[in-house]
Amino acid sequence: MTTLLPALALHGGAGTITAASLSADDARRYHQALHDIAAAAQALLLEGGSALDAVCLAVQMLEDCPLFNAGHGAVFTHAGTHELDAAVMDGRDLRAGAIAGVSRLRNPVHAARAVMDDGAHVLLAGAGAEAFAQERGLAFVDPTYFSTPMRREQLERVRAAGRVVLDHDGAAAVAADAARTPLDEDRKMGTVGAVAVDRHGHLAAATSTGGMTNKRVGRIGDSPLIGAGTYADDRWAAISCTGSGEMFIRAAAAYDVCARMRYAGQSLAEATDAVVHQSLPAIGGTGGLIAVDRHGNLALPFNTEGMYRAHVRGAEAPVTAIHR
């Protein structure tokens, strides 16, 4: 079997992240978190771990990090609750698992992986998803675990303005309304995700999110929808998306990258660029994605001011970035 150089990319969301509003201390915190998470997944890959295990580890760590809107520190719904979504896909055989609208699972990505491993279904939602996870012995927490005071403050300001906003795009507007320096919590990004190729050439993708601030209860975005926010196929690429979920659903954004490579003969760079800078903007879609192909080529395009991201190849030091 051919041995390849493993590669991995991860994101912590894309949107309005102006350099002026992000303090040097905040930037260092994000860079350090992205670096440490990428390094942990890299170590797993270098030890011979699978792409699937690597992306699940990276997303679990992103869910546990309060800097990002997934798991601990997730945004609130209009009702002041949390509804979390996640998906996992294995490029080897197109197996996939996803959960949506859960509020007590510490790590939604673990539940998505369990759904995939079980194999009976692809997507479970709400109480049924939580019952399934409980049967599998996954960790549960009180819903208050996901809350932070600043997330609550963010909800109240956005709700008072009568808006539903992407966490990352709401930051600038909320800060302007408050006529003060933006809070760290207001600048947290939305969806998190990871993609990887392991030394055997297998691909995998995982995505997790807390959704949109002040979203209607029951709203489900692109993250747990296979082909919209998450997709992986060993023949072509693994993709994890972040941004205006409704538009990514309408564009079948993640799958479209693979379709362009398969049917139009486009490279990974060409396919991801077309989706992010042509297809999505044509219907008002904002955000970005991360992708890796079976040769280890990486693409991390976005059409917003910034995207929290990191990538690593082989034993090289992880590279992190926020702006262009």
Cβ–Cβ under 8 Å, residues 319 and 312? yes
3-27 in b/e burial notation, b at 16+ Cβ within 10 A?
A: ebebbbbbbbbbbbbeeebbeeebe
Q: Which amino acid is it at 255?
A: Y
CB burial of residue 215 (10 Å; 0-12, 13-18, 19+):
buried
Structural tokens at position 169: 């795009």
| CB < 8 Å & 24+ apart, contacts of 265-269 | 267/297, 268/237, 268/292, 268/293, 268/297, 268/298, 268/299, 269/297, 269/299
Cα–Cα distance measured from residue 261 to residue 28, given in angstroms and rounded to the nearest whole number = 36
User: Residue 47: which residues within 8 A CB-CB, separation 6 or more?
Assistant: none
Q: What is the DSSP pairing of strand 7-15 with strand 84-90?
A: unpaired
Please tell me whether 222 is known to bind a ligand: yes
Please tell me whether 244 is known to bind a ligand: yes
- 189 bridge partner residues: 68
Please tell me whether 314 is known to bind a ligand: no
Please tell me whether 23 is known to bind a ligand: no
CB burial of residue 287 (10 Å; 0-12, 13-18, 19+):
buried
Annotated catalytic residue within 16, 191, 286, 304: 191
Please tell me whether 221 is known to bind a ligand: yes
Q: Assess whether 191 carries a catalytic annotation.
A: yes
Please tell me whether 28 is known to bind a ligand: no
Residue 161, phi then psi, degrees to nearest 5: -85, -5
Residues making up the annotated binding site for substrate are 219-222, 242-245
Residues making up the annotated binding site are 219-222, 242-245
Query: Where in the sequence numbering do the catalytic residues fall?
Result: 191
